[in-house]
Every structure is written in structure tokens, then in C-alpha cells.
């Protein structure tokens, strides 16, 4: 680990609290050159934030609140008088529970879409975690979520708290060590109908601590969790109540570039090989050795579209040149296959969950092979993939709910999405069939980010990330022709994941304002694509899930897409 890290020469800030990569990243988001200090950040953040208005049939937040309350003066009448107004309006969204993590708030909350009330919340600070960054979550199906359900929530920690430009002294106060401030916890939480309770810290139970995507298997028998700082992906059993989670299999992904001693950028873009190693637990303890920051290759995560910070030398760490960026793993809705995204190359490695072996590799960028890239088994527990051509980095991805196609974002250099035919049960026969690119995706930003699909799979919804503090957009894509149907502009700062209500009526878009600006939930109709408006959602959210009631609904939840 690097002690007291600072930005590279030429990126020093006039505010020494903007640690590490914060200054160059914030400068890029603000489209500025030269020093960036906290005063500049506050000046920009304070202007034009309140009251998003969509172009064309616009609905603003204030107007939507009035509609939800039933009348413009409903707030003054008191809660007892709002039962016929607020409840009836909220009930249009359906009888669902809306689960969201609070990112830097350090916990999660569940909101009743039928009433607008927050039913329960949890904060991991209360359990001794001195620096929880509640990152991604996924909920297991429950026949009646109002009576109870369970979910898993990964947390980052360690020096990741320093990249947001917060004038914090959390490190100086010793709150990042030894284990409980380092993050990479995986919390299993239960809602019992009244409150949320911490049931298990899976990182403590298993010795595997990963802090990014948590994605549940389509049969709800377990889940995967990943971490792009460690390049570790693990598959876990499902535990309930006071049971303990077990590791099914875990893998580490390492990169060996052809130009290992040359320029840092050449280390990736001049090709090389990915080595996949199956991890084993220590026989003495039965635990893996990946708790806290153990195994981190980077000191900070790659922020969205921030892969360039790695290959331009702005992200320090113990093993930067070996980075693959394996931070998500999604599951095919029909076949027992899971796909791990390697962000540094925009490729996906397919793992067969019946044998727990990697068996195929697909590449998303244009100019790379459209057919499968071979996966060679070197020995028991070791596989290698040779990549002759590396064009760009990538990030989020997902399978369509019918299992016919898969899409992945290509970011930083191509700003497009690869589309794959993945209907065949043998992933070695999957191939890239086209590339989708919205006309607005010119240059490095705005960029395609998270994705979701309509219930019938006929539409793909893509959150489009703009430079901070500009508001993100949503791109709606026809999956029959892979063309843009419609764009919803100026939705909110930093739009993250989306979710469709299981009746197929509405799409909910969470937005967080990069954790410390505006935040909420934007709602639009799935079929007619008309903006409905905004719901309050507090805490700076990075993910969202409507709690599924069965495995069929689970496929449309945090199972096939990230």
C-alpha cells in the first residue's frame, strides 16, 4: 500500500484534502484544466441543481410531489388527511418494495412504493464498521416481502472514501484500520416486517471480502460477488436466517501484457494474456485470505469511465500492471452460465456453474474478434486467454430476460455497445452480431453506463453518464433493430442502475449526483416512454432493486444485468 498518496505531478490541488485521483477525476468531470479545489467544486455544485425539468412533455419534481400528495396544499393538511390523496397516487406504482443502498451513508433502506414510506433502514456503522461504503445489493425472492426478505450488500472502504473530494480526516483518526475500516465486507441483511437486522458478514465467515457487484443466481440458490480492485470473483451458497454462507468457487484474474516493461498504456493495448486462477482456502482455517484490502491491486476503485486513470498512471497500487478490472458477474437467465466482465479490455469470460470452470470468452469492442476467443486450460485450476487485440475498456453489461442476447458497454475509446447472440447453451458458439451506438456518443463522454430491459425484452434502457455536474440522460433502444427509440434528457446527476416494475408499467431510475449532489428516483412509463416524475430517495444511491416475489421476477432484478 502507498502511504499518504498524492496525485501525479501537475495535478496537485490547492486543497490538500483532495486526495489521490480526486483532483484529475474531478477536473475531467468539470471539463476544466489546472488545479481544482473545494471552492470550485462547491461553486459549480450550487448552481442549477434543484428542479430538473425534462424537455418535451416535461414534468418537474415539485409538480410530481404535488400529484403524489393529491393536491397542492396536501402537505399543510397533515398526514392523517392524506390517505386518499398520497396513497392513491403512490399505489399507481404498484405493490412493491424499493430497496436502495446509501453509498457513503453506509447502509440501505427499503421504501414502500404503494405509500411512499420508508419501512426500515440499516447503517453498518452501528455494527463497528468505521468506513462502510454501501455499494451494490441484490435481494433474494420472498413470497411476501412485507413480511420479510433477505438481501446481500457489498461495501467498499479503505482509501476509497478519499476519492470524492471530502475534506475528511478519517485516515488520520485511524478509522481505516485494521479490518473494519478497510471495507470489502459482504453483509447479509434480513427485514422481518418491522426492521432490518444484520444476519451475517460473509467476508468474515468465508475470508473473501469483495466490494462491488452482488448478483443472485436465476434459481436463487446462491449469488456471485466481485471486486475490480482485487480482480476476485466468488460464487456463494444461499444462507437464510442464522445459517452461514459457504464459498462454491472463487477466481482471481491477472493480466500479463506483452509490453510489461514498456509504457504503462502499452501494457494493455499491445495485447497479452489473462490468467485465471481458482482460489483455495487455507486448510488450517477453512478461510480464504482476501479480507479487507488484502489482495488489492489498486489503492482506489476505478470510478465510472475511469479506466483511463489506470493506463495513464494516475491510480497507484501494488499490482497495477496486472489489473483486469473484473468487477461484475452476471448470469444467463436460462442456462447455468455466468459472465465476468474484464473492464480493462471490454471482454467477458463465461464460467460454467455446473463445473465451475471458465470455458469461453467474448469481446465487445468493434475491431476485435466477433467469434469466441479460446480459453486454454493450463493445469488444474489455471486457465489462460490470449488477447492479441485490445481496443478499449468496458464496464457494465447484461443478458436480455429471454436469454437471446447480451450487451456490454465499450467506454473511454469507442463509446458504444457490443451486442451478442447468446441463445445457444454452448457459450463457445456465442458471437457479436452488431454494435449499438447512439448519435450522442461522440468522444469519450457522454457514455453508456448501466442497462436494464423491458419485461418482454423488446426495449433496452441505458443510463447515459454526462460530465459532472451535467445531468445524465436515458437512452431507450429497440432490441429488434438496435436503434434508438427515444432519449430522456437532463434526468438527474449521475444516473445509476434502473429497474422495471414487475407488472411492466414503469421504469425507475435511481440517481445519486456522485453521492453528494441531488438524488432521487425518476419514473417513466415502460411502454409509452412518458416521464411521470420524481420520488424522494435520500442518501446518495448507487444501485436499486425492487424486491422480487419469485424466481421469475428475480430474472428482471439484480440477476442478469448490472
Instruction: Indicate if 29 and 146 belong to the same structural domain.
Output: no
The answer as to whether 559 is a domain residue is: no
Burial class (CB in 10 A: 0-12, 13-18, 19+), 348: buried
Beta strands 232-237 and 520-525, pairing class: unpaired
Instruction: Indicate if 33 and 181 belong to the same structural domain.
Output: no
Contacts of 212 (CB under 8 A, 6+ apart): 135, 136, 154, 156, 225, 226, 227, 228, 301, 327, 328
Cα separations (Å) of 233 from 211, 223, 245, 348? Answer: 10, 11, 16, 13
Higher-pLDDT residue of 73, 97: 97
Cα separations (Å) of 265 from 144, 258, 290, 313? Answer: 51, 11, 28, 8
Nearest-10 Cα torsion for 400, 404, 410, 416: -90
The answer as to whether 437 is a domain residue is: yes
Highest mean pLDDT among 31-35, 60-64, 180-184, 351-355: 351-355
Instruction: Indicate if 479 and 533 belong to the same structural domain.
Output: yes
Higher-pLDDT residue of 91, 548: 548
- What's the pLDDT at 87? 57
The average confidence (pLDDT) of the chain is: 86
Asked if the model's pLDDT at residue 108 lies above 50, the reply is yes
**CATH number, domain containing residue 256:** 2.130.10.10
Question: Which range, of 4-8, 33-37, 540-544, averages the lowest pLDDT?
Answer: 4-8
Return the closest-CA partner of residue 522 out of 513, 512, 535: 535
Question: How many CB atoms sit inside 10 A of residue 537's CB?
Answer: 22
Tally of structural domains, the chain:
2
Contact 398, 330 (CB under 8 A): yes
Binned at pLDDT 50, 70 and 90, residue 84 comes out as low
Instruction: Indicate if 417 and 440 belong to the same structural domain.
Output: yes
The answer as to whether 561 is a domain residue is: no
Binned at pLDDT 50, 70 and 90, residue 220 comes out as very high
Domain boundaries, position 35: 1-47
Instruction: Indicate if 227 and 155 belong to the same structural domain.
Output: yes
Asked if the model's pLDDT at residue 41 lies above 50, the reply is no
- Residue that the C-alpha cell 429488434 belongs to: 480
Asked if the model's pLDDT at residue 4 lies above 70, the reply is no
Assigned C-alpha cell, 545: 432493486
- What's the pLDDT at 435? 97
Contact 25, 514 (CB under 8 A): no
Task: Measure CA 450 to chain center.
Answer: 7
194 in helix, strand or coil?
coil
- What's the pLDDT at 552? 98
Positive or negative torsion for Cα 370, 372, 374, 377: positive
Contacts of 537 (CB under 8 A, 6+ apart): 98, 100, 111, 510, 519, 520, 521
For the chain, percent of residues with pLDDT exceeding 70:
84
The answer as to whether 161 is a domain residue is: yes
Residues 361-373 pLDDT 10s: 999 999 999 999 9
The answer as to whether 562 is a domain residue is: no
Instruction: Indicate if 20 and 89 belong to the same structural domain.
Output: no
Residues 227-266 pLDDT 10s: 999 999 999 999 999 999 999 999 999 999 999 888 999 9
Instruction: Indicate if 175 and 35 belong to the same structural domain.
Output: no
Summarize the confidence of residues 307-319 as an average pLDDT.
Answer: 95
Instruction: Indicate if 160 and 126 belong to the same structural domain.
Output: yes
Instruction: Indicate if 16 and 128 belong to the same structural domain.
Output: no
Cα 354 to Cα 346: distance, rounded to the nearest angstrom: 25
- What's the pLDDT at 517? 85
Instruction: Indicate if 42 and 65 belong to the same structural domain.
Output: no
Return the closest-CA partner of residue 328 out of 131, 546, 136, 184: 136
Contact 359, 427 (CB under 8 A): yes
Asked if the model's pLDDT at residue 198 lies above 60, the reply is yes
Instruction: Indicate if 99 and 35 belong to the same structural domain.
Output: no
Residues 268-289 pLDDT 10s: 999 999 999 999 999 999 999 9
Instruction: Indicate if 32 and 151 belong to the same structural domain.
Output: no
Amino acid at each position: 500500500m502507498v502511504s499518504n498518496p498524492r496525485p501525479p505531478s501537475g495535478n496537485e490541488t490547492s486543497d490538500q484534502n483532495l486526495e489521490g485521483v480526486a483532483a484529475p477525476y474531478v477536473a475531467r468531470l468539470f471539463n476544466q484544466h489546472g488545479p481544482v479545489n473545494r471552492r470550485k467544486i462547491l461553486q459549480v455544485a450550487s448552481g442549477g441543481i434543484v428542479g430538473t425539468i425534462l424537455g418535451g412533455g416535461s414534468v418537474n419534481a415539485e409538480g410530481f410531489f404535488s400529484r403524489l400528495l393529491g393536491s397542492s396544499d396536501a402537505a399543510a393538511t397533515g398526514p392523517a388527511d392524506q390517505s386518499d390523496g398520497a396513497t392513491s397516487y403512490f399505489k399507481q406504482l404498484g405493490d412493491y418494495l424499493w430497496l436502495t443502498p446509501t453509498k457513503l451513508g453506509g447502509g440501505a433502506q427499503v421504501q414502500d412504493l404503494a405509500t411512499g414510506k420508508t419501512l426500515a433502514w440499516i447503517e453498518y456503522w452501528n455494527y463497528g464498521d468505521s468506513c462502510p461504503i454501501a455499494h451494490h445489493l441484490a435481494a433474494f425472492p420472498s413470497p411476501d416481502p412485507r413480511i420479510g426478505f433477505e438481501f446481500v450488500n457489498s461495501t467498499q472502504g479503505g482509501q476509497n472514501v478519499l476519492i470524492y473530494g471530502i475534506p475528511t480526516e478519517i485516515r488520520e483518526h485511524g478509522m481505516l484500520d485494521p479490518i473494519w475500516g478497510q471495507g470489502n465486507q459482504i453483509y447479509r441483511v434480513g427485514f422481518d416486517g418491522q426492521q432490518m437486522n444484520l444476519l451475517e458478514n460473509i467476508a468474515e465467515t468465508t475470508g473473501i471480502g469483495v466490494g462491488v457487484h452482488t448478483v443472485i443466481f436465476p434459481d436463487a440458490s446462491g449469488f456471485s460477488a466481485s471486486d475490480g480492485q482485487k480482480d476476485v470473483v466468488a460464487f456463494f451458497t444461499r444462507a437464510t436466517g442464522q445459517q452461514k454462507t459457504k464459498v462454491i468457487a472463487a477466481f482471481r484474474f491477472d493480466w500479463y501484457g506483452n509490453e510489461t516493461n514498456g509504457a504503462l498504456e502499452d501494457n494493455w493495448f499491445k495485447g497479452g494474456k489473462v490468467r485465471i486462477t481458482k482460489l483455495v482456502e487455507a486448510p488450517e482455517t477453512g478461510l480464504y485470505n482476501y479480507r479487507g484490502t488484502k489482495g488489492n491491486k489498486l489503492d482506489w476503485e476505478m470510478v465510472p469511465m475511469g479506466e483511463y486513470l489506470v493506463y495513464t498512471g494516475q491510480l497507484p497500487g501494488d499490482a497495477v500492471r496486472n489489473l483486469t478490472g473484473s468487477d461484475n458477474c452476471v448470469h444467463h437467465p436460462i442456462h447455468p452460465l455466468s459472465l465476468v466482465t474484464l473492464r480493462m479490455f471490454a471482454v467477458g469470460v463465461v464460467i460454467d456453474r455446473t463445473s465451475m470452470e471458465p470455458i469461453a470468452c467474448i469481446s465487445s469492442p468493434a475491431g476485435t474478434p466477433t467469434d469466441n476467443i479460446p480459453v486454454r486450460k493450463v493445469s488444474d485450476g489455471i486457465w489462460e486467454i490470449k488477447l492479441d487485440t485490445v481496443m478499449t475498456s468496458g464496464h457494465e453489461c447484461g443478458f436480455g430476460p429471454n436469454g437471446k442476447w447480451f450487451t456490454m458497454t465499450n467506454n473511454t475509446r469507442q463509446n458504444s455497445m457490443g451486442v451478442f447472440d447468446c441463445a445457444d447453451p454452448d457459450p463457445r458458439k456465442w458471437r457479436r452480431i452488431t454494435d449499438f451506438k447512439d448519435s450522442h456518443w461522440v468522444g469519450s463522454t457522454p457514455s453508456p453506463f448501466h442497462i436494464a430491459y423491458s419485461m418482454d425484452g423488446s426495449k433496452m434502457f441505458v443510463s447515459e453518464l454526462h460530465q459532472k455536474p451535467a445531468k445524465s440522460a436515458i437512452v431507450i433502444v429497440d432490441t429488434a433493430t438496435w436503434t434508438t427509440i427515444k432519449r430522456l434528457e437532463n434526468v438527474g446527476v449521475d444516473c445509476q442502475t434502473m429497474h422495471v416494475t414487475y407488472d411492466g408499467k414503469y421504469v425507475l431510475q435511481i440517481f445519486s449526483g456522485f453521492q453528494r449532489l441531488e438524488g432521487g428516483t425518476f419514473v417513466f412509463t415502460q411502454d409509452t416512454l412518458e416521464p411521470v416524475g420524481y420520488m424522494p430517495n435520500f442518501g446518495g444511491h448507487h444501485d436499486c432493486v425492487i424486491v422480487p416475489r419469485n424466481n421469475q421476477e428475480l430474472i428482471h432484478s439484480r440477476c442478469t444485468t448490472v
